[in-house]
Amino acid sequence: MGFARTCSVALVGVEGVLVEVQAGLEPGIAAFTLVGLPDKSLQESRDRVRSAVVNSGAEWPQKKLTVGLSPASVPKGGSGFDLAVACAVLGAAERIDPRQIADLVMIGELGLDGRVRPVRGVLPAVLAAADAGYRQVVVAEQTAAEASLVPEVSVLGVRSLRQLIAVLSDEPVPEEEPIEDGRPDPTLAGLSVAGAGIGTGVLCGVGAALHVPDLAEVAGQHLARKALEVAAAGGHHLYLKGPPGAGKTMLAERLPGLLPPLTSQEALEVTAVHSVAGVLPPGKPLVHAPPYCAPHHSATMAALVGGGNGLPRPGAVSLAHRGVLFLDEAPEFSGRALDALRQPLESGHVVVARSAGMMQMPARFLLAMAANPCPCGRHSQLGEECECSPTAIRRYQARLSGPLLDRVDLRVRVEAVTRAELTGRDGAAENTETVAARVREARERAAARYRATPWSTNGEMPGHELRSRWHPLPGALKEAERDMECGLLTARGLDRVLRVAWTVADLAGHDRPDAEDVAQALHLRTGFTRGVPAEAGAR
């Protein structure tokens, strides 16, 4: 009986599980049986692999063939197992040496002509292989750059199965005809999901035509601009409320540009999620800029937090990991979908449980919400007549639950822009580069302060840590404590005011927050002026 084994990786959410692909040949009627909890697309690999092997010049074994995927209890799907199945079969048939493939991890789909096609999720798959101790992987040539991002792993990119057979058999490697310049490469279709790239990135795209929004294009809105700077510097969630046309969406679109570039570890995390979701920018295997995700208000709870048929897939909160999740017209989202954000806002990850399994996906994002004051948008506007009844206004504003808003550090009212601000040509507005430089300096101060802790930004710090280890100046919290006694602030709200105060102090270069820093933090959270200029932060 011929036997051979090699390895591949099954993706469960955004994490990989190493799978041993075993092939056994025994006398009997020629048949091909695939076992190990495969799904429909994996069951179809039997026909793809047989045709690919024959068209690659190898002989298909005319015996009873059984291919097992172990561990059998893990659900397996997708076409990424084709390459491993084909090599295991050829090893069992002694076309290639079984010892040559025993310590290899193979990830790739096979075409009927034997070409190796790329699949999604190569980076998390190679990361899982490296964690399991494997140091050699074989992938499609188009995803070799993505797989090479994992250190200490040797990557072999191949165009076809016949090339891989030649490499493993120490034979001359045949040349494959390259794709002609100007012609589309049909094999790249497996790297993306149709329609999945919509709304997943303003700063993640590539190309000379990409326009990065600049903060200098926003007229007026001094308080909202200050709130954006504080949100970016401390990782604080933001809620913008104002009439239509005031610039709420413009402000939110410029928030990712204020965030520092991703670190190497953060870039790997973001790239892994985007690779699984099929939204990686073409020709750019590593995402360096913070992502920006803006789902439509008709998005379901599964679209926001993850889900789908079978094993859950990453949702908007995971696509916005280490970046910005913008919910425009936030009250128009369903209440269940909005309340599902409460857990990832606190924990930085989301746990999705389905009948096919339970998994944890990263979701440490910066939430930005925008809303009108009422359904028609003209409530409390001078010279405008609101047509909404008081009941409709209360119902509209109550769609954002108290527990959700309590987790939002900054709540800013965005007033309509005046004609003088809109037509002004004084050039006083700061651009994104200038504000981003201040944000980086503030983050560096916070990171130096928390270098002995697992946290790096003020928005991540637990309240009890701030209260017990880092104290503001004496008497600085008097106004905030009075608001808590009056019921205007919850205990969580007081902690968040303290976090924002530390960020304001970092931006101002203060060693510890003083009363003015806390007053600005209260103003940015509650909207009430407390000894702070009306244009707080205007320069």
Apex CA 87: angle with CA 86 and CA 90, to 5°? 90
For residue 503, the cross-strand partners are none
As a whole number, the mean pLDDT across the chain is 87
pLDDT tens digits, one per residue of 227-247: 999 999 999 999 999 988 888
**pLDDT at 194 exceeding the cut of 70:** no
Element at 479 (helix H, strand E): helix 478-485
- Quickly tell me which residue has 């891989």 as its tokens: 164
Supply the pTM of this predicted model.
0.88
Query: Helices 515-526 and 478-485 meet at what angle, rounded to 10?
Result: 40
- The pLDDT value given to residue 206: 36
According to the model, what pLDDT value does residue 537 have? 43
pLDDT above 90 covers a percentage of the chain that reads 60
CB atoms within 10 A of CB 242: 23
Q: What is the pLDDT of residues 271-302, one digit of tens each?
A: 999 998 888 876 778 988 999 999 999 998 98
**Which pLDDT value is given to residue 189?**
74
Q: C-alpha distances in angstroms, 311 versus 31, 271, 432, 527? A: 30, 20, 40, 43
Helix segments in 286-431, DSSP class H: 301-305, 316-319, 335-339, 342-347, 390-397, 402-406, 419-423
Asked if the model's pLDDT at residue 182 lies above 70, the reply is no
Estimate the share of the chain in helix, then strand, then coil, as percent rounded to the nearest 5: 40, 15, 45
Helix axes 491-508, 222-234, angle to 10 degrees: 100
Higher pLDDT, 451 or 1: 451
| Each residue's pLDDT tens digit, 383-427 | 567 888 889 989 998 899 988 998 999 999 998 887 777 776 555
Interatomic CA distance for residues 531 and 371, integer angstroms: 27
**96 in helix, strand or coil?**
coil
From residue 289, give the alpha-carbon distance in Å to each of 113, 120, 309. 38, 20, 31
Q: What does the pLDDT read at residue 278?
A: 84
Rounded CA-CA distance 235/219 in Å is 24
| Mean pLDDT, residues 338-365 taken together | 87
